[in-house]
Amino acid sequence: MSGAPGGSMQSRLRPGQPAPAGLTVLIVGPAGLAGVDTEARRIERLLVGHGHTVSVRLAARDTWEGGGVDPETTVGVDLVVVLGGDGSILRTARWMGYGQVPVLGVNLGTLGFLAACGPAEADAALAAIAAGRFRCVDHLMFECEVTRGGAVIHRELGLNETSLLAGPPFTMIEIALHVDGELATTYRADGLIVSTPVGSTAYNLSAGGPIVRKDLDAFVFTPLNPHTLTIRTVVDSASRSYELAVSRPNAGSACVVDGRVVTGLVAGDRVSIRRATPRFTLVETAQHGYYRTLREKLEWSGGLRGAGGRPSASPDAS
């Protein structure tokens, strides 16, 4: 989906229009990661030199959950530049909560599916944004609620996935899936991943789930090592409501959102997952298309030779 940033109308960035003078930009990233501070200061100087107002807020990874970046600091911000990898972008999305601001990711990590560019391409990406040569792509976010004894004990906003994991003593658990109040199936497995399209290239992909184009509105249900061979991944609409129930969890069973354990599970707990109102918005330039990102990050080659995608010559060609 392209157009005005969903859930971030406070931003003055508009695709196809040159960026107005005096943008307010927030640069965030994990302190201590090699190159983050240097790159943050370089981008800060570049943006200030073009007349924009810039704040830099770096926090150590182990303190991010403790308020390394205050979500209130995004009020009035037009663009957030995230330095790091996909984990940094996930944390930033969680910090912004229900007041999402368009994000440009600069990859200083490893894979970097969400980051639009590397440090060498950051200047060109910022120039493209200034000229209006960019698009804002909205992505599905979800709300996860854990209910115990009729009361909500935990509520979390997420971007990648909710996972119910069997945990120690590492015996399989049964997870009942209800869709719009109707029992769909009961998984007997080591766990279940409920992923967004953005998260389809994360834990879901590692577990053998499909890649789903990240701007679609859908949830992907991928069981972990199911005991029944006919159980396969299911993709369903994000317009529906989903509820998971574990009747006999293990002592170490847990609900995990975007890689963070949010709570252990006890018998009778119910986990609901639904589409959230805010949308996570990535700023993308022409430098990286969707399939180019997949091709480069996943090293898809096949019969391709080089970035041009020309088929390689036949072994019999002379």
The catalytic residues are 86
Nearest to 134 by CA among 279, 42, 4: 4
* Longest distance between any two alpha carbons in the chain, whole Å: 74
Q: Which two tokens stand for residue 161?
A: 């996935």
| Contact predicate 57/68, CB 8 Å | yes
Burial 257-266 (b: 16+ CB within 10 A, else e): bbbeebbebe
Q: Write the Ramachandran bin of 170: left for phi over 0, alpha for psi from -120 to 50, otherwise beta.
A: left
What angle do helix axes 36-49 and 119-131 make, rounded to 10 degrees? 30
Residue 9 CB contacts under 8 Å (≥ 6 apart), including other chains: none
| Contact predicate 210/233, CB 8 Å | yes
